[in-house]
A and B are shown apart, each in its own frame.
Chain A
Amino acid sequence: MSKKNKAIRDVFGEVLVKFAKKNKKIFAISPDLKSATKLSIFKKEIPERFIETGIAEANAIGIASGLAMSGLKPVVASFGSFLSGKNIEIRVSIGFNNAPAILVGTHGGLIGPDGPTQAGLQDISVMRSIPNIKIFQPASPIETAAILYHCIKLKVPSYIRISRQANKEIYNKNYKFVEGKPYIVKNDMKDGVIFTSGNMVERCLDASNLLKNMYKIGVVNIPSIKPLNKSKILKIISKTKRLFSVEDHSINGGLGSAMLEIISKYNIKKPFCLHGLNDFTQSGEVEELYKYYNLDGSGIAKFLRKNI
């Protein structure tokens, strides 16, 4: 297992080009920001299928809809905050038309000195409310490639949320992405289990390790936020006493809310606590911010201890 950290957006940019060299239906659409979203690699390698719309996300989304409905596979990449901000365009042009485009929202979570306007902090909530659109979030380089490959094959629209940070590889070559499946990354869950996703998986593992002498807390990675395989979630829930969700996203409408929808539907009588963001955040260094909002390993451990 490689421990080398690699930024998810770099992996996205490189892997997309690799797939697009084989699959001539793939187009990249960039509403500016190509060096930040790493579509710059696509522009350099496959300029004939690279579309620059300028700072015009709505138009980018509409063009993607028309291409997708013509049988091509457009990938629009911009900051998750800017893309999901175009709610009505995604809702109608992509969602209602069921246009199988891929929307990639980069800079999900706490992103650093650029501050909350540029950070995807409510994007999952917005996208989750729109029918037809599937939502994924990779936690590692291998998972990023697997999710992108999956979305290219989909006949429905998808949203992929990727973080700005470098993430450790937690999987190996044998990893197989299955839509809807929750992945147990730490199985020892006698005292509780954390449901998390993306960039937060690593941090939750840190938290679980910090508490290992006191509690056995399992960690489950949810790369497929919508759809979510309910029976597999219920099976995990049956093995533990307490449930937690941790996300670098608003707790209103995010992963925790998705879990709550399952818990309330199946009348689960186990304590469930959500941890995430409640407000617009602020500028600061990335790790400083994760610490400030109690979303680093020790902050998450503090949250867990408080609720056990």
Chain B
Amino acid sequence: MSKKLVIQNNNCLKIRSLLIKSLYNAGSGHPGSSLSLIEILYYIYRNEKNFKLILSKGHGVPGQYAVMRFFKELDNKNFNNLRKINSKAQGHPDKRNFKKIDASTGALGQGLSIAIGYAMAKEYLKKKGYVYCVLGDGELQEGQIWESLMFLNSNYLKKLIIIVDYNKFQNEDLISKTLPMPMIEEKWKSFGFKVFRTNGHNLNNLDKTINKVKKTKKPSVIIADTIKGKGISFMENSGHWHSAKITRNFYLKALEELNVKKK
């Protein structure tokens, strides 16, 4: 592993500890859903300029706040008041509070359509940068997603990059035990998409795949295999940690696993 990658992976560990701390302070929130998208968001914030990011799975926003905090785009006070009254860091993305939150989301299924609008505008206005849309896999059950895919089938948008955080879980259980969605790749392919499958926790793989998408001149999607609760053993692949209070014991245990000394 290159030295650069070691540093980047270490940064993602730091972001995870920031995330756990903010969720511990909040006393509620979505740890599992946030932990699965850390590398995806870190990659975008670290490598992209003039980007728009639509976090369609809005409940993962503590992950975005932690990445924003790491890159000093969110102050400590608001970050530590996650989900508290009058805090900028609301429970779901709130565009009113941040210039860099490009869309308020939370009611699932809507972000891809909004991202299409942004990507069309970027092309029309000849603006630089890409529009990223991060979808949850459970979110794919929303009908509006498939309305968007039908649209993209005949309207290729070169500025749009879609990433599915494929952690295989939804609200409190596995997707396969809630409403199974077999043949996920085939579903996208049948809508005219080129499907790229990658490991959503591997920054090298993400880099390669995103660059491939940028060179592909047709509608594309990245299905990023991720682990719900990634990085904290007892949260990994657990329906319980989709949305749960982190108690002090669990908080200390999580920090220990992330190998960050508590101040």
> In the assembly, what is the distance between CA of A66 and CA of B109, in Å?
14
Binary contact readout A53-85 vs B (1 if CB under 8 angstroms, 0 otherwise): 110101111111111111110100000000000
A62 and B150 form a contact (CB under 8 A): no
Binary contact readout B98-122 vs A (1 if CB under 8 angstroms, 0 otherwise): 0000111111011111111111111
- Centre residue among A51, A74, A93 by max chain B CB count within 10 A: A93
B83 to chain A, nearest CB (A): 17
Which of B54, B103, B106, B121 is A72 in contact with, Cβ under 8 Å? B121
A89 interface residue per 8 A CB criterion: yes
List chain B residues, Cβ under 8 A from A107: none
A90 to chain B, nearest CB (A): 10
A206 to chain B, nearest CB (A): 43
Which of B116, B150, B151 is A66 in contact with, Cβ under 8 Å? B116
List chain B residues, Cβ under 8 A from A178: none
Number of interface residues of B (CB under 8 A): 31
B104 and A97 form a contact (CB under 8 A): yes
> In the assembly, what is the distance between CA of A60 and CA of B155, in Å?
13
A56 and B107 form a contact (CB under 8 A): no
B110 and A66 form a contact (CB under 8 A): no
Binary contact readout B118-140 vs A (1 if CB under 8 angstroms, 0 otherwise): 11111011000000000000000
B207 interface residue per 8 A CB criterion: no
Give B contacts to A, CB under 8 Å: 54, 95-96, 102-107, 109-122, 124-125, 143-144, 147-148, 150-151
Knowing that A62-B112, A93-B103 are A-B contacts, what are 19 other residue pairs whose CB atoms are under 8 Å apart, sorted by A's residue number? A58-B147, A59-B147, A59-B150, A62-B113, A62-B114, A62-B144, A63-B113, A63-B114, A63-B116, A63-B120, A63-B151, A66-B114, A66-B119, A69-B103, A70-B121, A88-B107, A92-B105, A96-B104, A97-B95
29 pairs, A vs B, C-beta closer than 8 Å: A54-B150, A56-B147, A56-B150, A56-B151, A58-B113, A58-B147, A59-B113, A59-B116, A59-B150, A59-B151, A62-B117, A63-B113, A63-B117, A64-B117, A65-B103, A65-B114, A66-B103, A66-B113, A66-B119, A67-B117, A68-B117, A69-B103, A71-B125, A72-B121, A89-B110, A89-B113, A93-B103, A93-B113, A98-B95
